[in-house]
Amino acid sequence: MSLKIALAQLNFSVADIAANSAKIIAAAEQAKQQFADIIVFPELCVTGYPPEDLLLRQDFIRQTQRAVDSLTKQLHGIDVVIGYPRRIGQYLYNTAAVLRNGQIIAEYHKNVLPNYGVFDEQRYFTAGQQTCLFSNGNTRLALTVCEDIWQPGIIAKNRDAGADIILTLNASPFHAGKMQQREDVVCAQVKAAGVPLVYVNQIGGQDELIFDGASFVADSRGEIVFRAEEFAEQLGIVAFSDNVPQPTGIAPLYQPVISEYKALVLGIRDYVRKNGFHGAILGLSGGIDSALVLALAVDALGSDKVEAVLMPSRYTQDMSNEDAKLEAEALGVKHHIIPIEPAVNAFNDMLAPLFTGSKKDTTEENIQARCRGVLLMALSNKQGKLLLTTGNKSEMSVGYATLYGDMAGGFAPLKDVSKLSVYKIAEFRNTISAAIPERVITRPPSAELAPDQKDEDSLPPYAVLDPILALYIEQDKSADEIVALGYPVAAVKRAISLVDRNEYKRRQSPPGIRITHRAFGRDGRYPISSAYRGAATLIEE
């Protein structure tokens, strides 16, 4: 007894129901041509995931139901398993349905609704209570949706109900190490239950979230017999013989730095494409952050869709201009040079009467950054290109950025990338082609807003700062716990104090690509007005 199951690992767009439906039909036809018996799509594939508060709109739900009705009529000759929001009376369910020859033969409502991290499904959906099985030939298949199989007992429950194979529809977002984590959790339960499982995950960028795909099939021993590529659309077909999946091909597991690089490229590409921009534009300073963003943008969009602007000031070093030009030329990017001194002088002259008697401070530094922001936003508006900001997670954490200056823009690719990770990804990118001059990687980082300025004039060294930030922000460690791990009291106090008082800046920053399990944005919901001070217990040594 044989059965062929197709895994449709595809990139769906939120609320583009017509395009999503067309993609479902095309993939089903392709699977039929390869003699598949069943094709499984990701969670909420009809609407795209996550649709968020669109789920509160009745017109959106009606439009979705019309699309499902149309798909049901059009799809024949293969069992098609899709996901969509289904309203029954006053309740809305996260639903998986099996379409067969003009009918819906099975319908399952997601039992476990995640409400942590980036998920808030309990805001929208009602949890289902029942298992759902359907038969294809002599094989009985169970339906599950994403979080269901992360919870102990549900796979075994479906086995006890008579399932020979578990099908699970997923929209599981990427973060570093997530692929290994999900396989470990799922495969342990599959092994305990002794029933094979087909795991289909979507790929693509949706605002801050990146979905990595990496769909897989595990046999009843919990061994992976098929794994799809990460961050790529793929139609995989796995043959089952007497309910045993046959080895088909196993793409590489998560690779640190390389996987993050792929996530960033896909995130930029999809944000530009799904929001209708003509390309991307950014300020190129000669520093490591803007150099990496330029390379990522070119890899995502092509050199003809990316534009760079050099905006030197009196404090910009010659080597910064030289390196920025080399970067643009190496990547074949059109670039312009617009000195900002005339604009800075004009603002300083206008403000001089009001600043009389005041010493120069960061105010004057910020005016330079804001002049650059105005220029870049003007070019973005005129050309219909997305302005990419270049700040990294370390800077966003401690507020080492200028509101309406270097923070001005539409999308922040490095928002969840620490400074140390920026260097690692840049070094990897140079193994693909020479894009970032070695001097940019080795020279001390500087904002170049004052004479001989270096980041370490204001911040602890990144080798010290970044681990402290990761412990405090991503692992919720207290100041005392961080110090107990061996970090200097002064550095811990400085870093945490800056984090605590700069939420107002982070809240006004552009959306950015999530690559850690705790990113600013959907993950971080800290109050702006708060008396909490995480470093209050520390005493200077």
SS (H, E, C) 17-72: HHHHHHHHHHHHHHHHHCCCCEEECCCCCCCCCCCHHHHHCHHHHHHHHHHHHHHH
Residue 454 has a CB neighbour count (10 Å cut-off) of: 14
- In contact, 121 and 114? CB cutoff 8 Å: yes
Of 43, 121, 147, 307, the catalytic one is 43
110 is a catalytic site residue: yes
Measured torsion, CA atoms of residues 329, 332, 333, 336, in degrees rounded to the nearest 10: 40
**Residues shown for the chain:** 541
Sheet containing strand 91-100, edge to edge, reads 103-109, 91-100, 79-88, 38-40, 2-9, 234-241, 244-245
Query: Cα 216 to chain center, whole Å?
Result: 20
> What residues form DSSP beta bridges with 79?
38
45 has catalytic annotation:
no
The continuous run of DSSP H or E covering 145 comes out as: strand 139-145
From the list 146, 393, 477, 503, the catalytic residue is: 146
The CA-atom distances, in angstroms, between 279 and each of 307, 332, 333 are 8, 15, 12
Contact 24, 215 (CB under 8 A): no
Residue 448: active-site member:
no
Considering only CA atoms, which of 277, 487, 454, 295 is closest in space to residue 382?
Answer: 277
Question: Six-digit token pair at 49?
Answer: 């995931």
Helix (H) or strand (E) holding 188: helix 178-193
Single-letter residue type at 523 = D
Given a contact cutoff of 8 angstroms between Cβ atoms, the answer to whether 2 and 244 are in contact is: no
Residue 31 near residue 39, CB atoms below 8 Å? yes
Looking at the annotation, which residues are catalytic? 43, 110, 146
